[in-house]
Structure 1
Amino acid sequence: MSFPSRRFKDWVVALAYAEKWLILGTIIGIASSIVVIVFFELLVRMVAFSSSLLGVQLSSPTTDLSIIFAETSKKLMIPLLVLAGVAASAPIVYRIAPEAEGGGTEAAVFAYHRRAALIPARVPLVKLVASVLTIGTGTSAGVEGPSVHMGAGVGSVLARRLGLSRRDRNIAFVSGIAAALAAVFRAPLGSTFFATEVLYKRDIEAHAFMPAFISSLVAYAVSAPYFKFVEPLPRIDVPPENIYSVGGLLTLIGLGFFIAPFAYFFIELILGSDRFFRRIVRRLGLPMEAKPLLGALLAIPIILAFPIVAGSGKKAIVLALTGQVKDYLPFQHIMPLVIIFILAAIAKALATSLMVGSGASGGVFAPSLLAGAFLGWSYYLLLGSHAPLPGHVYAYVGMAAFFAAAGKVPLAASIIVGEMGKNYYLIAPTLAAAYIARELTGEKTVYPPQLKERPII
């Protein structure tokens, strides 16, 4: 007997829109959250193993090596660890599922627009294993891109098994993205906006919003106990009236102008790295799986100079939002802190573009947030005594503005950042900064498969 049964398929397909997606959205939410939990559990174990090789004893489980790289005394182990992870993951990707190379989100967007929302069943599995090996050994890349790709794969596979129409397969695909991201970020509303917004530069996939939101809520409910109901980001303790003062709003809006050129630079780095590594392996006659190794060789000196830019950066983001990250920044005895924050942002952008752009498995979402937080602090230091708000507020808004500009997702970035730390009153001013940064960077994006808007049918 096939699974699911023919009777179940016929019954689901015959249901009205609301009933159908209440059921399918729930199934996708459960399945996607389980995949994310497995991914995180394996990644935690990989990071623990890497930490033991570096002689660092973990006080609690983590998926990020940034602080560990900064604290270890075995600095010579860092290049070996990064190269080993990339060397182990690259053959798995390029020999089994080349679609799993790189960040993950752009591959999902490509599959949605160019491959009729079809992702082979092997791709999510390969993406999971490869991402554990790369991120778990210190590659500068995030967990969100792989999670998005895996969630999209869950929705695509389920849609094929049920024999859904192309329109319903699209909805299942988007719902899988939303569910996976909600499990990672514990931000179901923002994740729904991301899943529907990331497909286009200036539009959203509106017909998939309700099913995606159902999947997000279910994924959040299933995954929250695993993450012990802990929010990913700290809540800021600043009176809303300070943020909504004239000075507060004007400086937050100004942050959008400050962030834009750095976000544009990051986009160019990502796109340029992809072109560079494809060209170099062709000229040298090397196999495609050599690309991530070349990227790692170029990224390692950056990681050694700024260890805080290693890994996904999730722990570093928390430290940036609590003002403790400066304790892990180098060169403070020879240059001003404002310059160091800018250099740290550039280092994170460069290391991530070299790794993800060369095909190493990992995303750009969390690295973008960290780069944006660094730039938020530098902006605060430039304001000096004229800053009406604490530095960590600018770091929060800087995260959203940077990624909104890079990924063309201002709505999603603003809501996710506010939702992750339950800082809801930050969403409106963040949205203003995010839209300004997005507009100033034009149509360029770290996700080239995005269409400008929905096709007219």
Structure 2
Amino acid sequence: MKQKFYEEVTLFASVIKWTIYATIVGALAGLATACFLHSLAWTSEQLVKIPNYYFVLPLAILVSAFLVKWLAPDAAGHGTEKVIESVHKHMGRIPLKVVPVKLVATVITLACGGSAGKEGPCAQIGAGLASAFGGLLRLDNVDRKKLVICGISAGFATVFGTPVAGALFGLEVLVLGSMMYEVLFPSFVAGIIGFHVATLMGVQYQQYAAFVTPMFSGGKFLEIILLGMWCGLIALFLIETMKFSHKAFNWLPWHYTLKALFGGTLLIVIGKFLSPSYLGLGLDSIDAGLTGNVIPIGAVFWKSIATSITLGCGGSGGIVTPIFYIGVAAGNLFGQIFHEPNLAIFSALGMTALLAGAANTPIAASVMAIELFGPGIAPHAALACMVSYLIVGYRSVYPSQLLGIRKSASHKITIGMPIGEVGRTEFVTREKSLLGVVVNIMDRVRHKDDPK
């Protein structure tokens, strides 16, 4: 009896402790995210008044790359990736100077037309503040790591207004196929607090539930699976395009300033001769798709290219907002091909399914669909997200994400290694698997046809 009493007391104390810690981290992340979003909105509003404002992109990316390289190299890339790396390799230790540098560099990149997202900086800012708070309290490595994960969750929840999905994303994105349940409670607390603090600070979130009204029957089951496959292939294209862009810019024997200027010039070409809608956050195009309007066929391809160039040449920003854009465009195109009358629902499903595939976060993406578009979309979103997640295989927009499971028992692959280090997957034929049965049938037919 005494042992059970101490057990309950310990758990009670743990709940109190992590409620306090996560509340503080959530409040810090909410305040910082609100400042970032207001700064980005004001700067973008001023620059967009200037005709061809994106012509300053070469200079903007140059300044962004300079700030990151000389003031906070840990702020390089698209935010969340660096945080994942710090969690796995440095027990969540993130220099505090990353916070202001990432904020300023990202505002410069996005406001001037760089194709990137706003969630990566918020996740990195939230994680950086959480790491500093953990250092101030002199927490051990385990607790500091938990706090940083809470910071990721709070940043993601706050930037999109999805507290539950944000909490789940912060956990699910770390390891493919595995979640740290011991951090689930504080992540929920941090996400919810961060969301409410940002709301009190005047941050407003778009509501789409009125436009996305599911009207599906059982006959649409196969179509949703096809949509998931389609989004998985598009996610795979985005991942490989980003990988190629980073390798290409690293291969160029130029100074980083020339790479930034060259990348910015390529983005000007895309904006001038194709469409400015492929630059910046692309929120207008996302809104258009989610309200049932037709999106140009080339949007999937060109947004992927623009995003890869921006992040590859030294621009600062996240990747999830471009994923939303590309996912909306992919779902919209799928709906056009199948002559669907309700393009909004397919755009919404495409948006969350692409996130599930590109980031290997099917649970967070499914919950996000519910938070953004209402509970009616839940079964179809879950199905599309899971299929997209499986189709992508062992690839991710976050190379530091650890491999936690095999997506198929027929794959021979090492568990526990970063996805970016995964080489060619070895295929093992199992006798009773579907492919194993097909192979056996083909072998029998071949032997039967062979002359004796």
Which TM-score band (shorter chain)? 0.7 to 0.9
Deviation of 1:170 after TM superposition, in Å, equals: 1.3
Would you say 1:295 and 2:267 are equivalent positions? no
Residue correspondence of structure 1 range 118-133 to structure 2 within 5 A? 118-133=93-108
Map of 1:393-412 to 2, 5 A cutoff?
Answer: 393-412=345-364
Deviations 1:114-163 (A, max 9, x none): 11110001011110010011111111011011111111111111111111
- Aligned equivalents of 2:202, 2:368: Cα separation in 1: 17
Secondary structure of 1:224's counterpart equals helix
CA distance in 1, matches of 2:237, 2:370: 25
Counterparts of 1:15-414 in structure 2, within 5 Å, are 16-52=13-49, 54=50, 74-75=51-52, 77-79=53-55, 81-227=56-202, 230-237=204-211, 240=214, 242-243=215-216, 245-280=217-252, 283-284=253-254, 286=255, 288-304=256-272, 305-324=274-293, 326=295, 340-341=296-297, 343-384=298-339, 387=340, 390-414=342-366
Q: Is the 8 A contact 1:142 1:313 kept in 2?
A: no
1:332: which partner in 2?
A: none
Structure 1 residue identity aligned to 2:25: I
Structure 2 residue identity aligned to 1:78 = Y
**Alignment correspondent of 2:371:** 419
For structure 2, list consecutive stretches of 5 or more residues without a partner in the other structure.
1-9, 406-414, 417-452
Separation in structure 1 between the aligned mates of residue 206 and residue 236 of structure 2, nearest angstrom:
27
Q: Deviations over 1:189-222 (max 9, x none)?
A: 0001100001012111221110010011111111
Inter-CA distance 295–417: structure 2 relative to 1 (3 Å threshold): farther
1:14 is displaced (CA, Å) by: 12
Other-structure match for 2:7: none
Instruction: Show structure 1 runs of 5+ residues with no match.
Output: 1-12, 55-73, 327-339
Mapped to 1, the partners of 2:135 and 2:128 lie a distance apart of 11
Report the residue type matching 2:209 in the other structure. Answer: R
What is the distance in 1 between the residues matched to 2:183 and 2:360?
Answer: 19
Q: Which residue of 1 aligns with 2:425?
A: none
Q: Is the 8 A contact 1:128 1:146 kept in 2?
A: yes
Counterpart-to-counterpart distance in 1, 2:31 and 2:98 = 16
Kindly provide the amino acid, as one letter, of the partner of residue 319 in structure 1.
A
Pair 300,118 (structure 1): closer, same or farther in 2 beyond 3 Å: same
1:449 and 2:400 are equivalent in the alignment: yes
> What is the CA-CA distance between 1:257 and the residue it aligns to?
1.2
Change (3 A) 1:451 1:19: same
Q: Please report the TM-score for the alignment, with normalisation by the length of structure 1.
A: 0.83
Do the aligned partners of residues 137 and 238 (structure 1) sit closer, same or farther apart at CA in structure 2, a change above 3 Å counting?
A: closer
Compute the displacement of 1:238 (Å): 5.8
The alpha-carbon deviation at position 101 of structure 1 amounts to 1.4
Say which SS state the counterpart of residue 95 (structure 2) adopts: coil
Say which is worse superposed, 288-297 or 437-446, in terms of deviation.
288-297
Tell me, what secondary structure is at the counterpart of 2:338?
helix
Range 188-197 or range 294-303, more displaced: 294-303
* Residues 316-348 of structure 1: per-residue CA shift (max 9 Å, x gap): 21121113464xxxxxxxxxxxxx42x111101
- Verify the 8 A CA contact 2:278 2:299 in the aligned structure 1: yes
Task: Return the alpha-carbon distance in structure 2 between the equivalents of residues 375 and 435 of structure 1.
Answer: 16
User: Deviations for 1:262-319, whole angstroms, at most 9, x for unmatched residues?
Assistant: 2111000111111111121xx23x1x35433332222222222121111112232112
Alignment length (residue pairs): 397
1:38-92 per-residue CA deviation (whole Å, 9 max, x = no partner) reads 111211221122123x1xxxxxxxxxxxxxxxxxxx34x432x222321222211
Structure 2 counterpart of 1:334? none
Displacement of 1:226 after TM fit?
A: 3.2
Retained in 2: the 8 A contact 1:233–1:318? no
Change (3 A) 1:19 1:290: farther
Distance 1:209 1:246 in 2: 34
Query: Partners of 2:294 and 2:376 in 1: how far apart?
Result: 24
Q: Residues 324 and 239 (structure 1 numbering): CA distance in 2 closer, same or farther, change over 3 Å? A: closer
Distance between the aligned counterparts of 1:444 and 1:14, measured in 2? Answer: 38
- Quick check: 1:94–1:289 contact (8 Å CA) kept in 2? no
TM-score normalized by the length of structure 2: 0.83
Which of 434, 440, 446 aligns to 2:385? It is 434
- Return the alpha-carbon distance in structure 2 between the equivalents of residues 264 and 233 of structure 1: 29
More RCO (CA 8 Å, sep 6+): 1
SS of aligned partner of 1:204: coil
Contact 1:377 1:395 in 2 (8 A): yes
The amino acid of 1:441's aligned partner reads: V
Whole-angstrom CA distance in 1 between matches of 2:283 and 2:181: 30
**Whole-Å separation in 1 of the counterparts to 2:200 and 2:294:** 28
Q: Within 2, Cα distance between the matches of 1:198 and 1:353? A: 20
Match of 2:318, SS state, is: coil
Is the 2:58–2:263 contact (alpha carbons within 8 Å) kept by the matching residues of 1?
A: no
Deviation digits for residues 369-425 of structure 1 (CA, Å, limit 9, x no counterpart): 1111111111111112xx3x611100000011112111111111221233124x222
